[in-house]
Amino acid sequence: MTQVLILLDSTTLQGSFTTDDFQVPIDIDISDCRYEIALVKLNLWYSWYNISTDFGNNTLRYSPDGGTTWKTITIPNGQYTVDQINTVIQSAMFNNGDYYSNAQNVTSYNITISADYSTLKVNIAVSSNFQVDLTVSALNLLLGFGSIIVTYTQEGSLPANINRDINSLSLKCSISVGSFANNNSSNILYTFVPTSIPGTNLNITPKPKLIFLPVVNTNRLTSIRITIVDNLGRRVDLNNQPVTCLLVLRKMRKTEYVK
């Protein structure tokens, strides 16, 4: 055997595996020499959340009367932009009767959350004695605010962190060696940045050429574990959406190893 393609698909698995961390049994004899492996293609859904009960960042409160009474809004788990967060909040305000209409019957609200793309910050506009309480969850961190009660229109003190610090994703492969994450040895096989919008299928193909890494020094491969993590090494919960991974295993040139 000089080269073999290995297709791993999370949808075929049974048991307690998650699609961001699954293991597939295999049986490949590699006793004849050292081998190396590369990612050929990866498909996964942009299905992870930035707001979730698991992150403790899905609630806020608002007051329509200067802080005398408070109403809690719970944002459903999901992936949200700043504009979408504003839509959820104003929809809840509408259901609570906290809106007004002008002569043209246009609905308006005394709370508006908007993004300023020139400063990368979020603006929270309040009027008519309304207030927004950002102390009840970690939602303030996504919006770039401190843990405060917003009593007047203001901009966040920090750039928005709407992606929850996810700048890139990495594919880890249990049989690969020779990579590093900062100064720590790792089994990261490939790193990529999602380039499409949430809800789409990400089609990852290494370019301009495949990147090969050595395979663990063993005589036989009995399983391969695939894990998807973010740039901070955190699990990326894909909410059970499938992952398909195509790998190529090949012999290393004799000048590249000592058996």
On whether both 43 and 124 belong to a single domain, the answer is no
What range defines the domain where residue 143 resides?
59-155
CB 171 within 8 A of CB 42: yes
- Residue 259: its pLDDT value, please? 45
d(Cα 206, Cα 197) in Å, to the nearest integer? 20
CB hemisphere CA count around 98 (13 angstroms)? 24
Among 123, 155, 187, residue at a domain's last position? 155
Inside any domain, residue 54: no
Among 111, 127, 155, residue at a domain's last position? 155
On whether both 137 and 98 belong to a single domain, the answer is yes
Q: How many angstroms separate the Cα of 58 from the Cα of each of 71, 126, 142, 255?
A: 14, 20, 10, 55
Inside any domain, residue 30: yes
- Residue 1: its pLDDT value, please? 63
pTM summary value: 0.88
On whether both 14 and 94 belong to a single domain, the answer is no
- Residue 253: its pLDDT value, please? 79
Inside any domain, residue 132: yes
Inside any domain, residue 102: yes
On whether both 176 and 244 belong to a single domain, the answer is yes
On whether both 183 and 227 belong to a single domain, the answer is yes
Inside any domain, residue 251: yes
pLDDT < 50 regions, the chain: 258-259
Tokens of 248: 């190529």
On whether both 176 and 141 belong to a single domain, the answer is no
Inside any domain, residue 201: yes
Inside any domain, residue 170: yes
Which sign does the torsion angle of CA 125, 53, 235, 241 carry? negative
On whether both 142 and 173 belong to a single domain, the answer is no
On whether both 215 and 149 belong to a single domain, the answer is no
Tokens of 139: 């939602």
Task: Return the H-helix or E-strand segment holding 141.
Answer: helix 139-143
Among 155, 182, 215, residue at a domain's last position? 155
CB 149 within 8 A of CB 67: yes
The letter for the amino acid at 8 is L
Residues ≥6 apart with Cβ < 8 Å to 128:
110
On whether both 188 and 145 belong to a single domain, the answer is no
Inside any domain, residue 17: yes
